[in-house]
């Protein structure tokens, strides 16, 4: 969504209000441990895209719970914001935390071949019979 200074400020306000609503106003147990990561507001304030994060195993459950509660959340948000138009809510699952965790796990499992000492061209240095590394003299 195209953003400018005003829409970023409005997104911050919408994020604070929406976070408060999800934390204190909603009593659905399916929405427990759901984190609001960010919001985007359209330039005309008619649409708010809210990104939420949760455990990967609960994506479907949380998506369905947010779809069920969308009307109530939108109504509460409209009263909290006080804008002329109550924005349409679009909820999306934010998977960046899951991707970061996957990358972190991949970096912890470094293959043994990366620990082998290499020359400036990237070829492994092969030890000779004395236990010293042989240098190619080409």
Q: Is the pLDDT of residue 22 over 60?
A: yes
Q: What is the average pLDDT value for the chain, to the nearest integer?
A: 87
Q: Is the pLDDT of residue 98 over 80?
A: yes
pTM: 0.74
Give exposure, 18-50, as e/b (b: 16+ Cβ within 10 Å). Answer: beebbeeebeeebbeebebbebbbbeebeebbb
User: Mean per-residue pLDDT for 97-125?
Assistant: 82
pLDDT band at 121 (very low <50, low <70, confident <90, very high): confident
User: Mean per-residue pLDDT for 51-74?
Assistant: 94
Per domain, the residue ranges of the chain are 5-98
Question: Does domain 5-98 match CATH 3.30.300.20?
Answer: yes
23-62 tens-digit pLDDT: 999 988 999 899 999 999 998 999 999 999 999 899 999 9
């Amino acid at each position: 969504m195209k953003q400018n200074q005003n829409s970023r400020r409005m997104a911050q306000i919408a994020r604070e209000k929406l976070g408060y609503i999800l934390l204190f106003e909603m009593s659905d147990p399916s929405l427990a441990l759901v984190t609001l990561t960010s919001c985007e507001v359209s330039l005309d304030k008619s649409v708010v895209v809210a990104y939420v994060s949760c455990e990967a195993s609960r994506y479907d459950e949380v998506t369905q719970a947010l779809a069920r509660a969308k009307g109530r959340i939108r109504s509460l948000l409209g009263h909290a914001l006080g804008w002329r138009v109550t924005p349409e809510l679009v909820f999306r699952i934010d998977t960046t935390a899951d991707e970061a965790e996957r990358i972190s796990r991949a970096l912890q499992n470094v293959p043994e071949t990366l620990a082998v000492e290499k020359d400036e061209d990237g070829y492994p240095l092969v030890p000779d019979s004395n236990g010293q590394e042989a240098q190619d003299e080409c």
